Chains A and B, each alone.
Chain A
Amino acid sequence: MDEFQEILQDFLVESFELIEQLDQDLVELESRPDDLDLLNRIFRVAHTIKGASSFLNFDVLTHLTHHMENLLNMARHGDLVIDADVMDVILESIDLMKALLVRIRDSGEDSGLEVNPCVARLDAVANGTSLGETVPAPAAAPSTPAPEPKPAVAAVSEEEPDYSGMSDAEVEAEIERLIAVRQAEDAAKRANSAKSSTPSAEEEPDYSGMSDEEVEAEIERLIAVRQAEDAAKRSNKAQEPEPVAPAASAPVPVTPPAAPKSEPAPVAKAAPAPKKVEAKDDGENRGGSAVEQTIRVDVKRLDHLMNLIGELVLGKNRLIKINDDVEERYEGEAFLEELNQVVSIVSLVTTDLQIAVMKTRMLPIGKVFNKFPRMIRDLSRELNKKIELEITGEETELDKSIVEEIGDPLVHIIRNSCDHGIETPEVRLAAGKEEGGTIQLKAYHEGNHIVIQIIDDGKGLDADMLKSKSIEKNIITEKEADTMSEKEAFGLIFRPGFSTAAQVTSVSGRGVGMDVVKTNIEKLNGMIDIDSEVGQGTSMKLKIPLTLAIIQALLVGVQEEYYAIPLASVLETVRISKDEIYTVESRSVMRLRDEVLSLVHIGDIFEVERVFDNSEHAYVVVLGLAESKIGLIVDSLVGQEEIVIKSLGEYLKGIEGIAGATIRGDGGVTLIVDVAALMQMAKSVKSTVGQESAEAKGRGGAKTSPTDYCVMIVDDSKTDRTIMRKALEPMGITLVEATDGVEALNILKQGDHNFDGMLVDIEMPRMDGYTLAAEIKKYNKYKNLPLIAVTSRTGKADRMRGVESGMVEYITKPYSPEYLMNVVKRNIKFNEGL
């Protein structure tokens, strides 16, 4: 069973690979119907799949591929001209074949899909054309694949293998095979001597309707098949069923093994043994593709490797950080040089290793592009347009996970270009353009990104039309439409529910497709840029980071927190002054060159308590994702760092606005901003830019008793603190003591008390009164907190410095308790009535 599973797996992998190439070849074939190489290649795919599937007992698939093979074989011999109609049938059968393979992959069996109509069409095409032409007599045989012995014999004799080159085992296998074939033929001959079976009946022998003789024949036949299979298995266990070299075919119109039940297994499986070398040579000559040394690796292993590299990158970051610290501390020491060298080697190797592993995960984007020629062909027939597809840069590589995600968006964009972009031939001619439209599909690298460009020379996007359609569908208001730039209007096509098509067709018009594009591109941290000119065409540019696991990030600071923003989403950073922020309909905006950019403060998104007063200037990080833009206000820009995305784990997953976390060089955890979610959140967050003192205003609160007032005493001398405490205690207010500036600042930061005033000594260890005052004033919340200097310094310069640092009163020691009390009362607005 396991062995069977293994073979099945190999079969599926191989078949899907073959089919991928097949689509491309078929479309090419239509333009070059007489290209024999191409035909042979296609024929071989059908043949290979047929052979393998019959070996694996997938009867339905065998049945279908067998008929395909017939048809292709006729074309190969020039008995059939491939035109568009024939191609339609072939393509249909290939789709069906794909569906069957998918079914086999998912459920392990190939039943449940109706192949007979398609088979009938295949036959009809084969018959129709072959009958209409002068064809050698036996040409009709392929269309009636009854188990006739003649073609079978032909098939065998035609493939007379070269026995001299065989090993003993192979010879033995071959002998067994021949016996089996002979037996099967005899059986078939006996069973069919009297009657001519119809094409559809031949597949599933109806045992009930058989005579004794027939049943016996059938049993014999089955035994023969089993023997033949065994023989084939033995001789071919590890070998993949190579296609029979077509060049060897005799002038007889060979429809390879015509008796489907008995023949395919032995022929397809056993024949390769002697033929293999030849077939291979053939392949080399034809394709000219050098034999690459490859090895299949489970993606999971690569993922694991990538994770390990991620850890290594984090370790490297830490090492660099430590190296910097050490360098600072032990400047000029001899060992530094050595350490430096080691660190740079480790970091160099890590980077190389990372690139190397990334490369192993890279796939050429051609894997995705391959399916488009076929799609364009189908679409242009369906829409009655003439559309050419030009593909460039299909060898451009990008990460496997991205290749998998990029397919769907591209399908939607190209469908859109075909349906809405390219006009019908009449319209094009009327507009003075060539009759056929062109869609260009380009891929190229740009820095750490891959750019995929889809350019059509169709009618282009009309910004005004987009706006009016959007208003019609209630996607935007008229007011919004008025302020929209052309680019923003183009962005409307990504809104869910938007569609310009007057009616829903099978191709488009549901208003879903472009929304899918946006969502998928956002998922990849990519950007979309649309350019369009009415009448000239549309260009859509998708910019996608090369890899997802290890990314470059911009680190920003807000208050005392740091966040990492994927650099792929950062367009630019600007430093602006507060005056440049305008408020429009309670939203903050700024003017960035000729655009109006809406702004949001990172602190509002992530609920950061804003205690520091931001200075007159702000940093704005302009974020771009898919087609939208936003300005994120941060307190500081820290720099760029390579980060590894780690999940927050099951417990904290799915937190809005956070894509994950990373570990920084200092060992701390920094959260990674989810730019797509942030843009969503920005819409609902109430802007507090420019109204930061709101909290300070509310600070006073309602005071209902003297204990609600709170004053801090900061003095390094216990005696002085006691004197002040004694002087203020009669008021009944809450008093908190601190022994120096640092401690006072910590108490403030903790926020356990809401202070109404502070008495500050100037001369203190660790942090003096002036510095303390300056520090406190940095906090937005305490901007208006009355600071009263209590000091023995009486010089005028001292007083001036006090005022400069933000002290409101200056009390010189010694003082009377009453005086101190009065000053405090006045400054904290003490309500005597309480």
Chain B
Amino acid sequence: MSEKLQQIINKQNKALSGDDIKIDEVIQLVGFIVGDEEFSVPILSIQEIIKPISWTRVPQTPEYILGVFNLRGSVIPLIDLRSRFGLETQKHTEETRFIVMKNNDDVAGFVIDRLTEAIRLPKKDVGPAPDTVNEEASMIDGVGKQADRIITILKVGKLLERNF
């Protein structure tokens, strides 16, 4: 009986570790557009994606912090990625979305221009961030290469870090 059990456990372990290898090889990202560029973040760092809802301005904050909004009872900060990246702000359109990202206990919503797609990218196709020293660059985790395009992968931890 216990032998049988052991076998099953072994089997499960094998299956699990096998999965691990697979996950390691491919990273899953969600791509979105801000301004003219396509960015992405790891799919696991996204709590949810919602259509724009009303928010409340919070005084004494940088311009890129639009305020706070109510996500099913939680008060969550809302950050405009356009102005965070130093781009002109734009009126929200039909395609505008709030991406709610989380990193450990930190949660915030980010305004993006539109979503593109979920991307599965082999790990070998992800290159390091370009060697620049400006502040924007530090938000970049790496660059994903696909057949026809290049996708910037953002550091969620950095995005959720308070810098004022």
Query: Which A residues touch B60, using CB under 8 A?
Result: 606-607, 655-658
B58 touches A648 (CB 8 A): yes
Cβ–Cβ < 8 Å partners of A652 in chain B: 58, 61, 65, 68, 77, 162
- A78 interface hit (Cβ, 8 Å): no
A606–B61 Cα distance when bound, in Å, is: 10
| B99-130 interface bits toward A, Cβ cutoff 8 Å, 1 = contact, 0 = none | 00000011110000000000000000000000
- Say whether, besides A651-B106, A669-B69, A671-B56, A646 and B75 are in contact (CB < 8 Å): yes
Residues of B close to A647: CB separation below 8 A: 75
Chain A residues positioned under 8 Å from B67 (CB to CB): 669
Which of A228-236, A513-521, A660-668 touches B? A660-668
Q: Among the listed B65, B68, B105, B108, which residue makes an inter-chain contact with A661, where contact means beta carbons less than 8 Å apart? A: B68
B interface residues (Cβ-Cβ under 8 A, vs A): 54-61, 65, 67-70, 73-77, 91, 105-108, 160, 162
The chain A residue sitting closest to B106, CB to CB, is A650
A216: interface (CB < 8 Å):
no
Interface presence of A649 (CB below 8 A): yes
- Tell me which residues across on chain B come within 8 A of A657, comparing CB atoms: 59-60
| Assembly CA distance A656 to B73 (angstroms) | 23
| Contacts A/B (CB < 8 Å), 26 sampled | A605-B59, A606-B59, A607-B59, A607-B60, A648-B75, A649-B106, A649-B107, A649-B108, A650-B105, A651-B160, A652-B65, A652-B68, A652-B77, A652-B162, A655-B60, A657-B59, A657-B60, A658-B59, A658-B60, A661-B68, A663-B70, A663-B73, A669-B67, A671-B56, A671-B68, A750-B91
Q: Which B residue sits closest to A561, measured CB to CB?
A: B57
Q: Is the CB–CB distance between B106 and A311 below 8 Å?
A: no
Binary CB contact string for chain A from 629 to 651 against chain B (1 if under 8 A, 0 otherwise):
00000000000000000111111
| Distance from B15 Cβ to chain A, minimum over Cβ atoms (Å) | 36
The residues of A that contact B56 with a CB separation of less than 8 Å are: 561, 661, 668-671
Question: In the complex the two chains form, what is the Cα distance from A606 to B59 in whole Å?
Answer: 5
- For the complex, what is the distance from the CA of A656 to the CA of B164, rounded to whole Å? 13
Closest to A652 in B: B77
Are the C-beta atoms of B58 and A651 separated by less than 8 Å?
no
What is the bound-complex CA distance between A606 and B58, given in angstroms?
Answer: 8
Contacts of B75 in A (CB 8 A): 646-649, 661, 663, 669
Residues of B within 8 A of A661 (CB): 56, 68, 75
**Chain B CB within 8 A of A589 CB:** no
Q: Are B77 and A669 in contact (CB under 8 A)?
A: no
Closest to B91 in A: A750
User: Which B residues are CB-close (under 8 A) to A671?
Assistant: 56, 58, 68
- Tell me, yes or no, whether A314 is within 8 Å of chain B by CB: yes
> A residues within 8 A CB of B77?
648-649, 651-652
Most buried by A among B77, B91, B160: B77
Q: With the chains together, A652 CA to B70 CA distance in Å?
A: 14
Q: List chain B residues, Cβ under 8 A from A669.
A: 55-56, 67-70, 75
| Of B54, B73, B108, most A-chain CB atoms within 10 Å | B73
**Chain A's nearest CB lies how many Å from the CB of B99?**
15
Complex contacts, B69 vs chain A, CB 8 Å: 669
Q: Are B162 and A650 in contact (CB under 8 A)?
A: yes
Whether the pair B76, A649 counts as a contact (CB closer than 8 A) is yes
Nearest first, the 5 closest Cβ-Cβ pairs linking A and B are A606-B59, A669-B56, A661-B75, A651-B77, A646-B75
Given the known interface contacts A561-B56, A649-B76, the answer about A655 and B68 at a Cβ–Cβ threshold of 8 Å is no
Roughly how many angstroms separate A311 CA and B70 CA in the complex, as a whole number? 13
Chain A's nearest CB lies how many Å from the CB of B139? 15
Task: Say whether A667 contacts B162, CB under 8 Å.
Answer: no
Known: A652-B58, A652-B65. 19 other contacts (CB 8 A): A606-B59, A649-B76, A649-B106, A649-B108, A652-B68, A655-B60, A657-B59, A657-B60, A658-B59, A658-B60, A661-B56, A661-B75, A663-B73, A663-B75, A668-B70, A669-B68, A669-B70, A669-B75, A671-B58
* A278 → chain B closest CB, angstroms: 55
Point out the residues of chain A lying under 8 angstroms from B68, CB to CB. Answer: 648, 652, 661, 669, 671
Contacts of B65 in A (CB 8 A): 652
- In angstroms, Cα B106 to Cα A663, docked, is 20
Tell me, in angstroms, the Cα distance from A663 to B68 when the chains sit together.
11
Which residue of B is nearest A653, CB measured? B162
Residues of A within 8 A of B76 (CB): 649
CB distance from B76 to the nearest CB of A (A): 7
In the bound complex, residues from chain B placing their C-beta under 8 Å from that of A311 are 73
Task: Note all chain A residues with C-beta closer than 8 A to B162.
Answer: 650-652
Selected contact of B61 from candidates A561, A608, A655, A663, CB within 8 Å: A655
A456 to chain B minimum Cβ distance, whole angstroms, is 43
CB distance from B98 to the nearest CB of A (A): 14
List the B residue with the shortest CB-CB distance to A647: B75
Bound-state CA distance A648–B74 (Å) is 9
C-alpha gap A652/B67 in the complex (Å): 9
Q: In the complex, how many angstroms separate the beta carbon of A638 from the nearest chain B beta carbon? A: 14
Complex Cα distance A670/B68, Å? 9
B58 touches which of A314, A658, A667, A668 (Cβ 8 Å): A658
Docked pose: A580 CA to B79 CA in angstroms: 42
- Give the CA-CA distance A585 to B147 in the complex, in Å: 69
- Chain B residues with CB below 8 A from A651, complex form: 77, 106, 108, 160, 162
Residues of A within 8 A of B58 (CB): 648, 652, 655, 658, 671
Which of B57, B59, B91, B160 counts the most chain A CB atoms within 10 A?
Answer: B59
Distance to closest chain B CB from A653 (angstroms): 8
- A561 to chain B: which residues have CB within 8 Å? 56-57
Q: Which residues of A contact B59 (CB under 8 A)?
A: 605-608, 655, 657-658
The interface residues of chain B lying within 8 Å CB-to-CB of A314 are 73
Task: Note all chain B residues with C-beta closer than 8 A to A649.
Answer: 75-77, 106-108
Q: Kindly report which residue of chain B lies nearest to residue A752, judged by CB atoms.
A: B91
* Residue interface bits A749-791, CB-to-B below 8 A is 1, else 0: 0100000000000000000000000000000000000000000
Measured between C-beta atoms, what is the minimum distance from B54 to chain A in Å?
6
Cβ–Cβ < 8 Å partners of A670 in chain B: 56
- Complex alpha-carbon distance, A663 and B76, angstroms: 11
A:155-200 near B, CB below 8 Å: none
A388 to chain B, nearest CB (A): 51
Give Cα distance in the complex from A658 to B68, angstroms.
Answer: 13
State which residues 295-330 of A face B: CB under 8 Å.
Answer: 311, 314
Residues on B with beta carbons closer than 8 Å to the beta carbon of A646:
74-75
